Amino acid sequence: MTGYDVLAEVYEWLISDAKLPPAEFAASFDDVLNLLPSNAHVLDCSCGTGQLAVGLAGRGMQVVATDASEAMVRRTAELSEEFGASVRALRANWEELPEHFQDNTFDMVFCVGNSLHHATGATGRGAALESMSRLLRPGGRLVLTSRTWELVRARGSRLEISDRLVRRHGRDAVVVYRWEIAPRWEEEHHIEIAIAQVDATGLVLVRSELLSCWPYRYEELEVELHRVGLQTELSTFDPEAENYMVVASKV
């Protein structure tokens, strides 16, 4: 189960204020983007609603944006049009990527914003990382961001309700995450995300989706990256921080 076709409609309520403008989303990766020529070939392989892809295109890069969700790809294409950005957007899950692109095509591949945990277990994750690695040119880099699952699992199953309303397009919503943590790391976990919009008359409109995910420890990820020919160049992993970024280059 991939999901996100329902959430795609209301995904901006899940993106922080700071990252909503495409230029700002891209700027959050300034340190790695500075390693690239301005017309670099880049792929965002879990593009969501396209903020990063459009931000990268705004810097003059040649951008391809892919996602497993048709609705997400549509939203990326709409955002590109709105910003007059040149982004090639297409639906493909990670394992299908080599059917669409030749090996050694991209200078940088992005898999960001808590996407990789949707790959089905260690086998699915290995296949996804293998695809990403194949598409990178030698010396090219994979940029991956992740939740710190060590922390998420330690907290156990729970309900997380936003402590303030999130306003987008003049509409307020409460955002709810329901975490279903399985007893063992390798089992399928679930996150149910609900966006409850409240209109001026007090009417509540809820959109929600149950997503499957397979967590991984940081050490496992490192091993899996190396197995597909990627060498960790930079890592912000800190067992006490909520998220981390790994930059790995193709040997």
Which stretches of the chain bind ligand SAM, using CB under 6 A? Answer: 2, 4, 15, 46, 48, 67-69, 72, 93-94, 112-115, 118-119
Cα radius of gyration (the chain): 18
Output 190 or 198, the one with its CB closest to ligand SAM.
190
> Minimum CB separation from ligand SAM for residue 14, in Å?
7
Q: Smallest distance from the beta carbon of 202 to ligand SAM, in angstroms?
A: 30
Q: Which amino acid is at 98?
A: P
Quote the least distance from Cβ 53 to ligand SAM, whole Å: 9
Residue 11: CB minimum distance to ligand SAM, A: 7
Residue 136 CB, shortest distance to ligand SAM, in Å, is 16
Of the pair 145, 249, the CB lying nearest ligand SAM is at 145
Q: DSSP secondary structure string, the chain?
A: ----TTGGGGGGGGS-GGGSSHHHHHHTTHHHHTTS-TT-EEEETT-TTSHHHHHHHHTT-EEEEEES-HHHHHHHHHHHHHHT--EEEEE--GGGHHHHS-TT-EEEEEE-SS-GGGS-HHHHHHHHHHHHHHHEEEEEEEEEEEE-HHHHHHH-SEEEE-SS-EEETTEEEEEEEEEE--SSTTS-EEEEEEEEEE-TTS-EEEEEEEEEE----HHHHHHHHHHTTEEEEEE---TTSSEEEEEEEE-
Our CB check for ligand SAM shows the closer of 25 and 225 to be: 25
Q: CB 154 → ligand SAM: shortest distance, Å?
A: 21
Q: Which is nearer to ligand SAM, 145 or 197 (CB)?
A: 145
By Cβ distance, which residue is nearest to ligand SAM?
113
CB nearer ligand SAM, residue 59 or residue 198: 59
Judged by beta carbon, residue 16 or residue 231, the one nearer ligand SAM is 16
